Structure 1
């Protein structure tokens, strides 16, 4: 929950930087990603004790969801200030940045997609009824 609150704060601070970004619409997306993912982490913290998961599954779910939440904010923030938005044409307005930034954003987006799908899948699995 603490990491969720940290991400929520980062999202609020990102909101202050929206007018300064090369891609203000992407900066707004970064602001919203951080706020929504911060709330997601807080909510997961509230239900965490109800999850029926083994120790390894619990650790995997925790780190996968944490990684995905922070990587999402980071990818959109990098994109907002460098113009590297080839993989996000709606928020990026068709902008493309320098190759190293595009690679960093693409790597973050692809890895966080896999991480959040597996992490949330584990959470869903962990919310099944416990065997008696």
Structure 2
């Protein structure tokens, strides 16, 4: 699989999703959290574009590359999705600044909390793998004529 090209595709797709979320943010239960979802889409899309741009420099075994790739996609899309769900449901337990005075049913708060924890772990795992793959010296590449 061409991870580099797929990361660039998903980066642009998530960037676009973030832009569309921004257009719709006034229709959510929690407008501040909808703004956060818009920003998460745009920033995580940009992050995927950046990772795609440097992917050829990442030196990992194929299994670790696959894990990093899927952790990146789960973490970035998940970040936008869980933030959007929080904006729709009006949850506020994990985000008192973005959701002052708001709270949802306990199961909804638990769903959003579990989602954010899972996403955090996925992004941290992907970042550690990327950092590990970037260690050492750069590969020598002959200049193009």
TM-score (norm 2): 0.86
* Structure having the higher Rg: 2
Higher helix fraction (1 or 2): 1
Look up the SS of the partner of 2:98 in the other structure. Answer: helix
Q: Gaps spanning 5+ residues in structure 2: where?
A: 1-7, 140-145
Q: Which SS does the other structure have where 1:96 is aligned?
A: coil
Deviation digits for residues 47-104 of structure 1, max 9, x if unmatched? 1111010011101111111101011101110111110121111112242112232222
Equivalent residue, structure 1, for 2:124: 117
Structure-1-length-normalised TM-score: 0.94
Runs of 5+ unmatched residues, structure 1: none
1:64/1:116 contact within 8 Å kept = yes
Cross-structure match for 2:102: 95
CA RMSD of aligned residues (A): 1.5
Kept in 1, the 8 Å contact 2:57–2:138? The answer is: no
Partner of 1:35: 42
